[in-house]
Amino acid sequence: MAAAAASNAASPPAIAKMELRGVSKTFHARGGETRALEPCDLAIAKGEFVTVVGPSGCGKSTLMMIAAGLEAPSAGEILVDGRPAGPAGPSRTVVFQRFALFPSETVAENIAFGLRVARTERAEIERRVAEQLALMGLERFAGAYPHELSGGMQQRVAIARALAVRPDILLMDEPFGALDAQTRTVLQEEVSRLQRELHYTVLFITHSVEEAVYLSDRVVVMSRGPGRIKREIAVPRDARWRGLEIEAAGNDASFLAAKREIWELIRDEIVRQ
């Protein structure tokens, strides 16, 4: 039922969009060293939605920070389109758990930020901002400041801001972790819809197994810390429950089976601690 690593039906044998090779991380603190990440290999194909799940402390956030270029790996390399990735930049934008919207800029200004930094011409900026506002349902809030918005709206702005620069790959670090359950469900369904329409390349981190199965093409399970990649599980794109709301999908047998399999792997790691 579950495929082993990389036998995903979706990807042809082309150069991966993003590849992490032998990436490991050791933190040096005053007391000594902490090994956060064992060497990991991960390849993400263009248009693929890959989610990393694992028990708390397994290093999945560290993996994301390294993929984004915000942390340097102790060993290993990161490749984008086969070439070494440079410093953190708009080819790999990030949506953070805590939104990270610039409080002194309006919604529209936040979305336009990356474009203004890149000195895009004004007409193009306006076009893309309008596009993102429509895509994320934010037209009414274009002139509002972040602190005037609810958590769900703020995260929508963050996603819009990350997408406005047309990144090669979108990185999402537990983006719905700070939201209440209802908002979370709504946003999960929205991201799923966007993915089916627009086929972004996404690396997603979460600790919710249900979210991982619902959104992804492939789920990567990490072991407990210091983390390494334990198993990769493909989630078929043409599964019956795709396109349904989470409620409905939750009743589908194959959905539940995938959830169970992944959860068993994680529970195994937690119990062994």
Partner 1 sequence: MSATAAVVRSDVRSARANAARRPVAYGAAALATLVAVWWLATAIPGLVPTRVLPSPVDVVVRFGALIAEPFSGATLFGHALVSLQRWSIGVLAAIGLGVPLGIALAWLPPLRAVVTPAFELLRYIPPFAWVPIAVLWFGATTTTQAAIVFIAAFPACIINTQLAVSQVDSILVRAARTLGAGAATTLRRVVLPVAAPTVFTGLRIAFGNGWMALVGAELIVGKQGLGFLISQGQINDSAATILVGMTTIGVLGALIDVVLQRLQRVALPWRPASAKPLE
Partner 2 sequence: MAATASARWFDAAPGADRTLPFWRREPGRAQWLAIAFASLAAMLFAWFALTRPDGLISPLFLPPPSEVWEAFVRLLKRPYLGSTLGQHVGASLGIVLGGWLLAGAVGLPLGIAMGWWPKVRWLAFPIFQILRPVPPLAWIPLAILWLGIGDSARIFVVFIAAIVPWVMNSMQAVDSIDGLLVRAAMTLGASDRQILTRVVCRTALPTLVAGARIALGNAWTTLVAAELLAATAGLGYIALNASRTLEIGILLVAMAIIGVLGALFSIGMQLLTRVVAPWSRAGSSA
Query: Would you say 21 or 259 has its CB closer to partner 2?
Result: 21
Residue 103 interface partner, choices partner 1, partner 2, none, CB cut-off 5-8 Å depending on type: partner 1
Residue 77 interface partner, choices partner 1, partner 2, none, CB cut-off 5-8 Å depending on type: partner 2
Radius of gyration, CA atoms only, the chain: 19
* 105 secondary structure, DSSP code: S
Cβ atoms of 62 and 13 closer than 8 Å: no
* Rounded CA separation 233/60 (Å): 16
* CA-based nearest residue to 205, from 77, 99, 55: 55
Instruction: State the distance between the two ends of the chain, measured CA to CA, in whole angstroms.
Output: 28
Taking the complex as a whole, how short is the minimal distance between the CB of residue 51 and partner 2, in angstroms?
Answer: 25
Taking the complex as a whole, how short is the minimal distance between the CB of residue 99 and partner 1, in angstroms?
Answer: 9
Q: Which of residues 93-112 bind partner 1 (CB under 8 A)?
A: 93-94, 96, 98, 100, 102-105
Residue 79 interface partner, choices partner 1, partner 2, none, CB cut-off 5-8 Å depending on type: partner 2
- How many residues sit in the footprint of partner 2 (CB under 8 A)? 21
Answer for which of 12, 31, 87, 103 binds partner 2 (CB under 8 A) is: 87
Answer for which of 70, 75, 134, 257 binds partner 1 (CB under 8 A) is: 70
* CA-based nearest residue to 204, from 224, 218, 225: 218
Cβ atoms of 163 and 182 closer than 8 Å: no
Binding mask 21-40 for partner 2 (x = CB under 8 A): xx-----xxx--------x-
Tokens of 27: 């933190």
The angle, 0 to 180 degrees and rounded to 10, between the axes of the packed helices 151-164 and 107-117 is 20
Q: Is 117 in the site for partner 1 (CB under 8 A)?
A: yes
For residue 225, CA distances in Å to 73, 229, 230 come to: 16, 11, 12
* Contact set with partner 1 (CB under 8 A): 68-70, 87-90, 92-94, 96, 98, 100, 102-105, 113-114, 117-118, 145, 147, 161-162, 165, 171
* Contact set with partner 2 (CB under 8 A): 21-22, 28-30, 39, 69-73, 75-79, 84-88
